[in-house]
Amino acid sequence: MIFQQTLGNKVTFSGIGLHTGKTITITLRPADPGTGVVFHRVDLTPAVSIEAHAMNVVNTKLNTTIGNGETTVSTIEHLMAALYGCGIDNAHIDINGPEVPIMDGSAAPFVAAIAKAGIKESKKARKYLVVKKPVSITEGDKKASIIPSRHYKISFDLHFPHPAVKSQARSLEFTQSNFADEFASARTFCFLAEVEMMKAHGLALGGSLDNAIVIGDQGVLNPEGLRFQDEFVRHKILDSVGDMSLAGHRLIGHVKASKSGHDLNHKLVMELLKRPDCYTLIEFTPQAFNAPFNIALPELSWLEA
């Protein structure tokens, strides 16, 4: 996994936009090394391109939205998590609307689409962003931090005063198989009162039990129940993978979050990027990457277990 990867072929799929309620079509296309992930609003003339990077995030309320001038693409986090989780570094994303379709509320449909397209490896090495010093953001009882680690890992805990959720905690030591098998299919969730409020304000027009876990006073309303007993915290980790991918590089560090969401995730990425003393960019050689933390690389001497 030392070389940059893109899609083997293009793949097209459609789904309902969570907030607009309209059918939106997306085409994922291969991209050259060094391109990154770029969204193209092809419903506009001329088309407007937006690089999926933390610097272009314009809204983090309810989802993560990127923009270029007045043009935006919202709810990108699940697709970004799928691209990162499948090892895709470079991709063009043609989209004919202002939001990524919600699909089933998880990243699994996007993972399936990427698997259908296939993956193509380039001959250009990746650059890894390796955390050297801790970086933290705290707002009230919410906290998100990233600390040095030998691996990319996300630990998350949440608490809601509701018997269907209560307190949940889980960690992901990131590998493609761990993400695909244990986190990609975890769905977004909301409380029934929130849904009613959003719809009253013209939002969540495409929301349903087919694309979100809805929690009522007596518990989960979805007739099929939960996919995992702790699906809520698994989805929060999924969101974190997508939001942290906007750092622009593969990460080596341990993200620790408590009651965090898109806003705090984004602030953590921005705080990290503006503090170059807290990270280094490393391009591994094939020999070094076979055992990157067991060889005498001076750049890695400060890493802890």
> Annotated catalytic sites, by residue?
262
Place of tokens 């493609």: 176
Q: What is the DSSP string of 2-46?
A: -EEEEESS-EEEEEE-TTT--EEEEEEEE--TT--EEEEETTSSS
Which residues fall within 8 angstroms of residue 42, CB to CB, at 6 or more apart?
94, 95, 96
Among residues 52, 5, 13, which one has the least CA distance to residue 30? 5
Q: What is the per-residue burial (b if ≥16 Cβ within 10 Å, else e) of 105-115? A: bbbbbbbbbbe
DSSP-based three-state secondary structure for 165: coil
Place of tokens 């349903």: 208
- Residues pairing with 281 in the sheet: 129
Q: What is the DSSP letter of 253?
A: E
Is residue 78 marked as binding? yes
Phi, psi for residue 59 in degrees, rounded to 5: -155, 140
Is residue 92 marked as binding? no
Residue 49 belongs to what H/E stretch?
Answer: strand 48-51
Phi, psi for residue 72 in degrees, rounded to 5: -135, 160
Alpha helices in 125-261 (DSSP H): 176-182, 192-200, 231-244
Is residue 40 marked as binding? no
DSSP-based three-state secondary structure for 184: coil
Q: Which parts are annotated binding residues?
A: 78, 235, 239
Q: Which parts are annotated binding residues for Zn(2+)?
A: 78, 235, 239
